[in-house]
Structure 1
Amino acid sequence: MSDYSSELHIALLAVQRAVILTKRVFNEKAKGTVSKDDKSPVTIGDFGAQALIIKAIKHAFPKDEVVGEEEANTLRENKALSNQIWELVKGTKLDEPSSDAALGGELESEEDMLKAIDQGNSKGGNKGRIWALDPIDGTKGFLRGGQYAVCLALMVDGQVKVGVLGCPNLPVDDKEPLDAKSGEDASDGPGRGVLIGAVEGQGATSRPLGTGTLQNPSAISMRPIQDLKDATFCESVEAGHSSHDDQAEIAKKLGITKPSVRMDSQAKYASIARGAGDVYLRLPTSKTYEEKIWDHAAGDLIVREAGGEVTDVHGNRLDFGVGRTLKNNKGVVAAPKASHNEVVEAVKAVLGSKAS
């Protein structure tokens, strides 16, 4: 039986190194652009972070597979863009040489970078060791200096065993409460940047993001709430990602009166896991849309290890063992364990009334 300590250590270091790259991209290149074409800062950051993380995983665990969001075809066709990303990637390393060496050091060439990106081509499934990677989760949050996350999770035979979220723009203080502006201008100034990790059965931790060796961790847990009307409720910024109207009705049904906190990315999972928020809903906006496993795997484990429960809108656990998507699930409900059933029943009531 593995305690997954090596996997957690490598995942934390790899995400921390990738965050250094994404912050460089934002500070040097994201000047108000909001497109995700092949010249945008998001694409540059996505490809670069994916290359660095897969390099680290394949160095430490060469037989493991990776489900990644990107593939390198675009870069093979656009040499100028590939060169631009390579210049960033080869200059990104941790300050502590031994920590950087644990990740396999730097990629050796631009072609090695492209090969690493393409190693994120696993089809997923319920057999073996498979990592789910989202190099920049929260495209628009990244571009405007709001919330985004670098997300990495290890699944073994379809079960999430290790989860790590690097959230550069969340406050270091785990208990700083969320408010309506938490998802807005939250760029990486002093007192911001956290690295959150969890291993199945071992709880969840938070530590400040650094640039070298890992900072000391602190245990985190969800906030105990006696009455859901006192809860703080998180949802996606984009209405296309989750139905805001339905969520407002659910909040009303539960007696929640505080304004919802809208933020991008799995920073929502991180926020409720450490007690800054309480409930996260992602409601279906389409009958055919399937959530991607890289958008939820790390956050799912972290919330459950912090004392919460995560299911779909029907109350079923998220199934990460059926490919690259959560095709067996619809939507997401994350809440403290003691309150989760009450939230799910409210969700069912509201969504059921819409369908009838």
Structure 2
Amino acid sequence: MPEHDLALLIQAARDAAPIANSYWNTDQRVTHKEDGAGPVSAGDIAVDTYLRETLTAARPGYGWLSEETEDDPARLAAERVFIVDPIDGTRAYVDGQTTWAHSLAVVERGETTAAVVFLPQHDKLYAAGRGTGATLNGTPIRAGTAADPTGANVLASRPLFSAENWTGEVPAMKRHFRPSLAYRLCLVAEGRFDAMLTLRPTWDWDIAAGSLIVTEAGGRVTDAAGHPLRFNSASASSPGAIAAPAPLHAALLARLAPR
């Protein structure tokens, strides 16, 4: 990992928070993306602009991929790229809820090397560097040790529990939910929940940061078919994601219907 990338992301996330907070819980302008892809707020755009200008000025040779910036194919030729969701959990953000996050990552040749997920309303900053461990507000965190899907506390949307997604009976798991996918990953890294699953196509900006935080906390993250995650592809997406301690990850993968 290039020296100081993680420190750069931490500072950028903290500096973006006052911008996001200035729009949060106000009558800000909100539009809606095509094909039901969700809302985009004035706060999203303001934070995206700040992060893009700040991070690319600090690392002019890095590519840029963000949910709120028009995609530039030049990123595909960059050795390193910033992958950013300025506000992950926009629906919660515009509704005045508190569980939204800034999600920032540096990806090198498809693998995340530095990651930050910051929840300003909770003052929770998760961070990880490749090979250096994961932290919450500077304190090391570890994923849990659950191995059996039965009784596991799982972060997932309700449709995941449909019978067609599983081989045999749906495991008797306890379902929980948080609006921010990046935050869900961090909650697994912190050991507060046993697993996070999504079977829908998943954008890089939603999982590039959180996946490294889980891995550095001792958990395992793959796509929904069990393949390693690779970021900064042309599609900028993965076919779902599974995050859990390794034994539970294997058990969940064995119970899921083939994909």
- Give me the TM-score of the superposition, normalised by structure 1: 0.64
1:162 aligns to 2:83 (yes or no): no
1:254 aligns to 2:205 (yes or no): no
Q: How does 1:181-260 map to 2 (within 5 A)?
A: 188=121, 192-207=122-137, 217-236=138-157, 243-246=160-163, 253-256=170-173, 258=174, 260=175
Evaluate the alpha carbon distance shift between residue 68 and residue 193 of structure 1 in structure 2; reply closer, same or farther with a 3 A threshold: same
* 8 Å contact from structure 2 (residues 82, 106) kept in 1: yes
* 8 Å contact from structure 1 (residues 66, 122) kept in 2: no
Evaluate the alpha carbon distance shift between residue 251 and residue 43 of structure 1 in structure 2; reply closer, same or farther with a 3 A threshold: farther
* 8 Å contact from structure 1 (residues 67, 131) kept in 2: yes
Map of 1:134 onto structure 2? 85
Q: 1:293: how far off? A: 1.2
Evaluate the alpha carbon distance shift between residue 143 and residue 167 of structure 1 in structure 2; reply closer, same or farther with a 3 A threshold: same
Q: What count of residue pairs does the alignment treat as equivalent?
A: 253
Instruction: Name which of 200, 209, 217 aligns with 1:298.
Output: 209
1:121 aligns to 2:77 (yes or no): no
Q: 1:122: how far off? A: 4.8
* 8 Å contact from structure 1 (residues 137, 150) kept in 2: yes
Instruction: Name which of 218, 228, 244 aligns with 1:317.
Output: 228
Deviation track 1:182-221 (CA, whole Å, cap 9, x = no partner) reads xxxxxx3xxx2211111111111111xxxxxxxxx00011
Map of 2:255 onto structure 1? 346
- Give me the TM-score of the superposition, normalised by structure 2: 0.86
Instruction: Name which of 317, 335, 339 aligns with 2:244.
Output: 335
Map of 1:307 onto structure 2? 218
Amino acid at match of 1:194: K
How far, CA to CA, are the matches of 2:16 and 2:32 in structure 1?
Answer: 19
1:11 aligns to 2:15 (yes or no): no
Unpaired stretches in structure 1, ≥5 consecutive residues: 72-117, 169-187, 208-216, 285-289
Identical aligned pairs, as a percentage?
26
Q: How does 1:51-90 map to 2 (within 5 A)?
A: 51-71=49-69
* 8 Å contact from structure 2 (residues 147, 245) kept in 1: no
* 8 Å contact from structure 1 (residues 312, 318) kept in 2: yes
Rg bigger for which structure? 1
Q: 1:164: how far off? A: 0.9
Map of 1:36 onto structure 2? 32
Q: 1:43: how far off? A: 2.1
SS of equivalent residue, structure 1 residue 228? coil
How far, CA to CA, are the matches of 2:210 and 2:164 in structure 1?
Answer: 20
Map of 1:108 onto structure 2? none
Amino acid at match of 1:345: A
SS of equivalent residue, structure 1 residue 331? strand
How far, CA to CA, are the matches of 2:125 and 2:203 in structure 1?
Answer: 22
Amino acid at match of 2:146: I
* 8 Å contact from structure 1 (residues 125, 320) kept in 2: no
Map of 1:91 onto structure 2? none
> CA RMSD of the aligned region, Å?
2.8
